[in-house]
Homo-oligomer: A and B are copies of this chain.
């Protein structure tokens, strides 16, 4: 399957691009507002994969072109760019395409990180509100530490949580998630259940900051 990573030059985009290109035969397309930067990062990913004996083709394009070419489009941008990024690519999306939203809203102060819930209810809901008709949104990959994901030597052994209102779209993303070695996908319910999923991200950061020897944390439900 062809997967576009909008904002695929950023840290969570890099991790997902490398993991899918390394562990699967899916075709990964890197998108960026700056196509030159997308091409440069795509080449970097190819070099990293090649150094590990994987000869995968990773292309880089402007976000619009990346979205145009993919069946699944991951909006791997900060929370405050989710809406405008989706609007930019909206007319390149076809009915049946799936948007994946991994972003969460966080605020930081002296006490640590806090979930910053958008007025819409969740960042995933922001994506739903911006998505064109016929394109379903699935929230996923919120709780993965970017550095650990991008380090192909790092074992995962953790879970990612899915929220979405369309069963087929959720199943598509579940399969893509479980294609990554060491990642288990669990269903956390509908888009209305996204806030609790998104709030887990600042919690993971806080636990990492407050416990010696713990960093780049994920969670396992058991």
Residues of A within 8 A of B (CB): 109, 111-112, 114-115, 157-158, 161, 186-190, 192-193, 195-197, 199-200, 202-204, 206-207, 209-211, 214, 217-222
Q: Are B219 and A221 in contact (CB under 8 A)?
A: yes
Distance in angstroms between the alpha carbons of A218 and B200 in the assembled complex: 14
CB<8 Å pairs between A and B, sample of 22: A111-B190, A111-B192, A112-B190, A115-B199, A157-B222, A158-B222, A161-B207, A186-B214, A188-B206, A188-B210, A189-B209, A196-B200, A199-B203, A200-B200, A200-B203, A214-B221, A217-B221, A218-B221, A218-B222, A219-B221, A219-B222, A220-B222
Minimum CB distance partner of A117 in chain B = B117
Per the bound structure, the CA–CA distance linking A200 and B220 in Å amounts to 13
Q: For the complex formed by this chain, how many copies does it contain in all?
A: 2
A203 / chain B contacts, CB cutoff of 8 Å: 161, 188, 193, 196-197, 199-200
